[in-house]
Structure 1
Amino acid sequence: MNPINSLLAHKDQTLISHLEGVSQKAGFFATAFDASEQGKLAGLLHDLGKAETEFQKRIRTSDQDGEKQPHAHHGAAYALRQSEPAQWPVALAVNGHHAGLHNRGDVDQKAEAYREMAKSCLLKIRENHPDFTVPLLHDMLPGWLQDLDFFPGNRGNGWLATDLFTRFLFSALIDADRLDTEEHAEDGDKKNEARQWKPFKPESLLLRLEEELKERAEKAKSEGKASGEVLAVRQEVGNLCRDSAGKDRGLFSLSVPTGGGKTLASMLFALHHAVHHDKFAQRNKQFRRIIVVIPYLSIIQQTAKALREIFERDEALKGRVVLEHHSQVEDEPDPAGKQKDKKEAEPSYDTISERRRLAAENWDAPIVVTTSVQFFESLFSRRPAKARKLHNIAQSVIIFDEIQTLPPLMLQPILHALSELANPQRPYGCTMVFCTATQPALHKSEDLPTGLENVRPIVPPEKAREHFASLRRVAYRWPEDNESISWEELAGSILRRDAQQALIVVNTRKAARELHQAFREKLGNDADGLFHLSTWMMPAHRVEILEEVKRRLDPKNFKNNGRERCILVSTQCIEAGVDVDFPAVWRALGPYDSIVQVAGRCNRNGLIKNPDEAVVQVFHPKDSKSPKGLYSTAIAQTELLRKMGLAIPENPDSFTAYFRLLYQLSVPDECGIQRARSRLQFKEVDELFEFIEQDTISVLICNQYVDYAGEKFKKTAGGKLYEEAQTRRGGKGKIMGYFTREDWRNIQPNIINLPSRSLKDEKVRGKLEKAFNDETSGLYVWLGKYHAGFKGTGIDFEGAMPVEGLIL
């Protein structure tokens, strides 16, 4: 129980306890990027305004009494007091710890008004705790940052470096605040136990991976699942990863042809690299985790599952090594109706808002598997829930799978941030591995003057050319200029083949459904073995489909020496990272790298000895238009590359040529994001940075029909959790449904992301409701039909489908 005259931070915790607890935690988190003192100061100041009389009335009466006033401005004002060096990063972090980072100019305007109130709050705290002190920092910025160039007009590398440093400090404060609050909640012990991950021990993880690689190689050889050429390339790539691991931290590229085992090879490099450097590093500079960044939602579950099978084999390790984080469901204001900062800054007390705030993920696991969207939004978002995990990126090995998918319009800020994180003159200590079979031209050049410098290839270029030539497993057939084919014609052509095993990839989800329907009409009641895949299907559903597809493609499951039917109609979500091996592939004309990526799903293991018999047929669809914008530009550059005679996928240099053509047209010379970052305008950066071309909303699928006719009905796992969560009680026993952080993780396999503009479509909007009927929630629940099972195509709009942009 709290003494009756104590100042409170929350109903279960005194203010002095909270300030000191957050200070300790934030200082510890910030040691990873040499900012312990700034972290401690931010923690001591962040809730200084809670000493105000009106706030104390609110917290003691569960919002029944007391005026709602901001409490974050006080600590920011104190950090900017005129008698000492102005602690700008600290002030910005403190000011934004509820509402999000504000522009420097806005914080400066608030500081003057709150300076005297801040001093008054400090005196109130000292009435009960006379020993409470706020330390003086003699420098405005850490030494390494202070030494950089800060020229007038926000020119010089110091301004952009300050932007990133402020974000890291903000992240450390947010995580410290949320964790300290959790610890003192009624169920704090239970939450703390659920949050315990195993420590990152690269030596033991490496031992397990080496054992797994040896077992897989022996099995592949004995069962004939991969050709001798494939096994030889995998072995050589693995050895090159081991040999390169002793090099200094920084930027690396890993160019491996599809099927060459780059996913586990990159993990092999990462673990060897961590083991090597941790021997000599100070404790706060040892590697703390490996982060795997993947562009496609559709393959994250597959990758996470594969890593769990390797690193969580023992029962004691299950659920404590690999964190899978891919949903956009986080505690954030509804994008369709953002609240004003004042209201955002002061959440209600004794309501579900506090619990939702605590549920955001912070990436404190040894191995994190996440999306490109999540990773880069952490770097450029002003919102607390998205930024919370950022400080845990420091001292990490970061593996970027399919690096060629970085959006050209965002390359300037992305490449600058990556350079900073891996710069040996900065404190973040990251090593990055850029993996792909289609390596883009990200190095600094005339075509990309803001490109990366000193990217070291793990596989030397000459050796990469040998590998690509050795693993040529397919023949490409390109369409004539005026040649096109309808969905009906394409379906008929494929069904006339003796071996009815084929993968067909199209450019949009709408096209995938139309082509799938054309196959259904051709097959009638005999549709067994026809499958559909797109991001209009839940991740759990896609995993189910892929498992069955793999089973049918496995040679040991062939019936009577023949192949079981397996026709998969998909969007490009299958093009990268999905380990399937079809004897034939059709690809609608698209970007060059996409065509080559999908070719990696054809004769992947080299079991068809003559590459000319494993055909990748590129076609012009009659019945579908490609998405506009950058996607259309990429298709045009693919056509140009082909006409120039440079579209030779067996030569990795062709990818450099393609991306140089693409970047010439699509990377802007001027970048508003970089300009806003140099001015510490966090609001503008948040608004301008769009990793994907359209905003999305997160939709939980609670119910599904498990047959094509829509008769057999059952709840999803996420639906069952939602049903349970609806009965949770808040203060005074009132039912106020909410999800815990563990719930957020567990519902992700049942979440679909739809374009935000879907809310403007009356037919779609009528099938959506806010989770828990909470208008501030960013999560929706789907009330319409969802078709699951092997024959299902996912969410049913029962009418016109939403207009699409770039499709993943």
Structure 2
Amino acid sequence: MKYAHSKRDPLTKKILPKEQWHGLDPHWEGTANLAGKFAGCFKCEILGEILGYVHDYGKNLLDFQRRLEGSKRKVDHKTMGTLAVYQHYPHPYGLILAYAIYGHHGGLPDHISRGGHSGLYDVLSKNKFKIIDNIPPIFPELMEHEIPKRVPTINRGMSRSLWIRMLYSALVDADYLDTERFLRPEKAAARQSFMPLEQLSVLYQKKLDKLLSSSSDSVMARARRRVLQSCLRKALGPKGFYVLRAPTGSGKTYSSLAFALEHARHHNTIENCVRRVIVALPFTSLIEQTVGVYQDALGKDNLNTVLEYHSNIVIEPGNEDELDPRLLDSENFDAGLIVTTNVQLFESLFASKPSRARKLHRLANSVIILDEAQALPEHLLLPTLAVLRSLVADYGVTVLFCTATQPAFQDSWLDGMQPIEIIEEPGQLYSELKRVNTTFVGRKTNLELTELIISNGNRVLCIVNTRKQAQHLYSLLTKSKQIQKLDVYHLSALMTAENRIEMLQEIKSKAKEDPCYVIATTIVEAGVDIDFPVVMREMTGIESIAQAAGRCNREGLLEKGTLFLFESADYPSSPYMWYSGRAKLAKFILSRHVDPLTPEAVEEYFQRFYFQEKSQLDKHGVLRNLNGAADEYSFQFREIAEQYQFIKEDTVSVVIPHNAACRELLQQANASRFPASFNRKLQRYTISLYSQELEYLRKKERLGIIRGVIYYLKDSEGGFEGNITDLYIDRLGLKVYVEEEG
């Protein structure tokens, strides 16, 4: 009798008798059944079954069985299964399966050895498979004609590498789940607690009926009904790419989900069913608001309607030991409606590590809503669009680009697939909903900005490009004798999410006639539901200007709101800052269009922008490298994962213990064996600091750290339980750029 896993007493940690261990044969069979089911969602069931049966063949090794009994000797159990499939099955299937098995614990390998990592090519060429103790592996018959060919594409490397990733994902998730059923049956029993799409659709219909039957006859109400009705009609179309291009405030959040649920209902067949809806947003600050909107629509009393997933903190296996129970907590997108970030979604599609890639197979037959699609980073635009095209072509996915300023994607970037416009005349809709007049007022100092803010009524929102300027402008405005200090608000990423939410609630609670002056960074531009008659915006790209305009006269209560565009005299943009080139181009568009936010102006802006940046749209060569390796299936998975990063690690997260709840979490983290496991709970109390901001805290000797994994702002006594208001106050955030409160 051979075993896959031993079992320990949860209290004493002693190894239990072998009668309670997980047999190897049952583990193979359980994993094969699950992996076959998962891969069957993209018509590769037999490949999933093979992976499940062969992945742990090396656990037959006597050394591995001794390890289960308590031996400390490390054992490589993955190579035997890797060699078995590679030598048994024809090319390319043997190589495809070998990638998945060799990487099922440590991560998808590079094909060629580089940088100290062992490449799969060396493993396959230097070793020969040998049967262990007369125990042959189970080799299900592979009928090549039953496996669908990839849809022809100019990006064959993307198509083939994604195929490997999807199979790898099916294996990893199946392996984890079958292991979990044995090690933690109570957790396995609690799975699948989220509502399926069919039930969510029934609940959402109540909200739709209310929206469609609204008696309001305002311009905004009519427009929102039109957008919603257009989404419901176009949802009856085929799977593929769609674009919802509508001005901010026109109800895209409700309407896009209505499209997805109706699309799922329309394609509710065994062969073509939609299994889940995934909403991806550019910023974590948008997650909570979007989830709140959905939960309100689905009924707050209904539990487990939305899976909220946006933590970048995951636990990775450090070696061949898969028995760490923390691994079993990795998310796998097993829900009907998921709200996540672009970072989580897309970096997972290029990840090599198992905990990141585990969820990928669940993207098959889904609807992916890309909210604020204009926020896709240009330096990764070509590989991002190529992977979306592969999902649509080979995995039954529908992608909805949802935006007020649709980027001008070229036909070749989606390999000939044309997105279907949901709003047939977006220009007409924009004209009907035009709520703002835009004026460029030139270069202004902060003192001049303060005067301009005060002279334009008692409700003004001013958005600047940097948090340094935001803090100084806020401080200057609070010193003005013409307005009350408590009527001035500051919103930036130097405040914790908890504080920003509190400030936003206070801002929203003010009556329309109450004085309210808000100094903010771009953090208020996407999805923050606030409404001001006057908005001032430092020059930036057209896409950000449109977002700022969306906070101006949002409900259409005025004939026209006022949007002032200005350049900063005190804080001129460095030519190397990412927004400088966008601002320069936007200023050029302003010289050619009276209204820079018309669909024509936006299209010209993006066409010129992409032409200027064409050499940067695959800046790190991700797509080029994949396509160059397509013929030999010689993919450098680890390298690609390092190259495909939305945001380079140029900031450090620091916890701000500004209330009792945060201090309690820090105490628990400090006492825990696994303090990193508290990162998700601490996220709402965390700010990200650049190197110069971090150095400011170091010089003041106020930067603490818990066992090398959690940075926090120390109090004046060097702990995290005392007063920190000398450096952090709720209305301003971390006082990095101003020494005293306004």
Report the TM-score when normalising by structure 1.
0.80
1:430 aligns to 2:397 (yes or no): yes
Indicate if the aligned counterparts of 2:470 and 2:519 stay in contact, CA closer than 8 A. Answer: yes
Amino acid at match of 1:13: H
For 2:306, give the aligned amino acid: V
Q: Does 1:676 align with 2:625?
A: yes
Q: Is the 8 A contact 1:293 1:399 kept in 2?
A: yes
Residue 75 (1) aligns with residue 81 (2): yes
Partner of 1:536: 494
2:609 corresponds to:
662
**Contact 2:379/2:616 (CA < 8 Å) preserved in 1?**
no
Instruction: Please list the CA deviations of residues 250-285 of structure 1 after superposition, one character each: whole Å capped at 9, or x if unmatched.
Output: 00001111111111111111111111111x442xx4
Return the alpha-carbon distance in structure 2 between the equivalents of residues 392 and 415 of structure 1. 19
The structural deviation recorded for 1:418 is: 0.9
- The structural deviation recorded for 1:796 is 5.3
* Equivalent position amino acid for 2:626 in 1: R
Q: State whether structure 2 residue 642 is matched by structure 1 residue 687.
A: yes
Q: CA deviation at 1:99?
A: 1.9
Report the CA distance between 1:544 and its aligned residue: 2.3
User: Of 356, 380, 383, which aligns to 2:350?
Assistant: 380
Matched letter for residue 123 of structure 2: K
- The AA in structure 2 aligned to 1:34 is K
User: For residue 271 of structure 1, what is the aligned residue in structure 2?
Assistant: 261
Alignment gaps of 5+ in structure 1: 150-155, 222-226, 334-343, 705-712, 729-735, 801-808
Contact 1:415–1:452 (Cα < 8 Å) also in 2: no
**Helix, strand or coil at the partner of 2:540:** coil
CA contact (8 A) 2:582 2:609 kept: yes
Contact 1:592 1:634 in 2 (8 A): yes
Q: Is the 8 A contact 1:80 1:91 kept in 2?
A: yes
* Residue in structure 2 matched with residue 346 of structure 1 by the alignment: 320
Contact 1:359–1:744, Cα closer than 8 Å, also in 2: no
Distance 1:332 1:760 in 2: 30
Q: Does 1:109 align with 2:122?
A: yes
2:156 corresponds to 1:192: no
Partner of 2:423: 459
Q: 311, 315, 330: which one pairs with 1:327?
A: 311
Query: Counterpart of 1:290?
Result: 277
CA shift for structure 1 position 798 = 8.5
Confirm or deny that 1:16 pairs with 2:25.
Answer: yes
Give the deviation of 1:291 after TM superposition.
Answer: 0.7
* Distance change in 2, residues 1:147/1:591 (3 Å): closer
The residue aligned with 1:803 is none
Give CA deviations for 1:54-74 in whole Å, capped at 9, x if unaligned: 33333332xxx3322433222
Aligned to 1:340: none
- Residues 648/453 of structure 1: CA separation in 2 closer, same or farther (3 Å cut): farther
Work out whether residues 676 and 684 of structure 1, in 8 Å CA contact, stay in contact via their aligned partners in 2. Answer: no
The residue number in structure 1 matching 2:34 is 25
Residues 45 and 519 (structure 1 numbering): CA distance in 2 closer, same or farther, change over 3 Å? farther
The answer to whether the 8 Å contact 2:378/2:616 transfers is: no
- Equivalent of 1:793, from 718, 732, 739? 732
Alpha-carbon separation, structure 2, partners of 1:17 and 1:781 = 47
Q: Deviations over 1:81-132 (max 9, x none)?
A: 1675552222111111222111223212112445346x32xx47x4xxx8x7
How far off is 1:326 after superposition? 1.6
Tell me by how many angstroms 1:564 deviates: 1.9
**TM alignment of 1:199-238, pairs within 5 A:** 199-202=195-198, 204-215=199-210, 221=216, 228-238=218-228
Q: Render the CA deviation track for 1:507-564: whole Å, top value 9, x for unaligned.
A: 1222222222222333699421322222333333322222222111xxxx35xxxx22
1:407 aligns with 2:377: yes
Structure 1 contact 299–574 (Cα < 8 Å) conserved: no
Is the contact made by 1:415 and 1:451 (CA closer than 8 Å) also made in structure 2?
A: no
Name the residue aligned to 2:12.
none
- For 2:573, the aligned partner's letter is S
The within-5 A match list for 1:507-526 is 507-522=465-480, 526=484
Residues in 2 aligned to 1:201 and 1:368: alpha-carbon distance in whole angstroms: 11
Deviations 1:360-387 (A, max 9, x none): 2211111111111111101112122221
Shift in Å, 1:498: 3.9
CA contact (8 A) 1:323 1:369 kept: yes
Counterpart position of 1:473 = 435
Q: Is the 8 A contact 1:94 1:170 kept in 2?
A: yes
1:133 aligns with 2:88: no
For 1:804, the equivalent position in structure 2 comes to none
Residue 452 of structure 2 corresponds to which residue in structure 1? 493
State the one-letter code of the partner of 2:550: G
User: Quick check: 2:245–2:402 contact (8 Å CA) kept in 1?
Assistant: yes
Q: CA–CA distance in 1 between the matches of 2:187 and 2:422?
A: 42
Q: CA RMSD in A?
A: 3.2
Contact 1:183 1:192 in 2 (8 A): yes
8 Å CA contact retained: 1:298, 1:574: no
| 1:646 correspondence with 2:608 | no
Shift of 1:17: 3.3
- 1:137 CA displacement: 2.4
Corresponding residue of 1:337 = none
- Given candidates 419, 436, 443, the residue that maps to 1:484 is 443
CA contact (8 A) 1:394 1:429 kept: yes
Deviation at 1:597, TM superposition (A): 1.2
Instruction: Return the match for 1:441 from 405, 408, 411.
Output: 408
The offset of 1:683, in angstroms, is 2.0
State whether residues 49 and 70 of structure 1, in contact with CA within 8 Å, keep that contact through their aligned partners in structure 2: yes
CA distance in structure 1 between the partners assigned to 2:736 and 2:287 by the alignment = 25
Judge conservation of contact 2:669–2:676 (CA < 8 Å) in 1.
yes
Residue in 1 that maps onto 2:518: 568
* Cα distance in 1 for residues equivalent to 2:141 and 2:616: 43
- Structure 1 contact 9–50 (Cα < 8 Å) conserved: no
Report if aligned partners of 1:326, 1:748 keep a CA contact under 8 Å in 2: no
Q: CA deviation at 1:748?
A: 4.1
Q: Deviations over 1:388-431 (max 9, x none)?
A: 211111111111111111112211111111111112xx2x1111
- 1:577-596 matches, within 5 Å, as 577-596=527-546
Secondary structure of 1:381's counterpart equals coil
Quote the Cα distance in structure 1 between the aligned partners of 2:358 and 2:365.
16
Change (3 A) 1:760 1:172: farther
What TM-score results when the alignment is normalised by the length of structure 2?
0.86
- Inter-CA distance 77–617: structure 2 relative to 1 (3 Å threshold): same
Q: Tell me, in whole angstroms, the C-alpha distance in 2 between the residues paired with 1:30 and 1:70.
A: 26
Question: How far, CA to CA, are the matches of 1:146 and 1:459 in structure 2?
Answer: 32
Once residues 235 and 329 of structure 2 are traced to their aligned partners in structure 1, the CA distance between those partners, rounded to angstroms, is 36
Name the CA distance, whole Å, in 2 between partners of 1:565 and 1:147.
59
Q: Give the equivalent residue in structure 2 for 1:143.
A: 147
Change in 2 beyond 3 A, CA 1:114/1:540: farther
Shift of 1:751: 4.1
Q: Does the aligned pair in 2 maintain the 1:531–1:790 contact within 8 Å?
A: no
Give the drift of 1:652. Answer: 1.2
Could you give the per-residue CA deviations for residues 613-651 of structure 1, whole angstroms, max 9, x where no partner exists? x211111112224363542221121122122x1362452
Determine the C-alpha separation between the residues in 1 that align with 2:215 and 2:476: 37
Q: Give the match for residue 339 of structure 1.
A: none
- Give the match's secondary structure for 2:248: coil
**Paired letter, 2:305:** V
SS at match of 1:168: helix
5+ long unaligned stretches in structure 2: 9-20, 113-118, 630-634
8 Å contact kept, 2:385–2:413? no
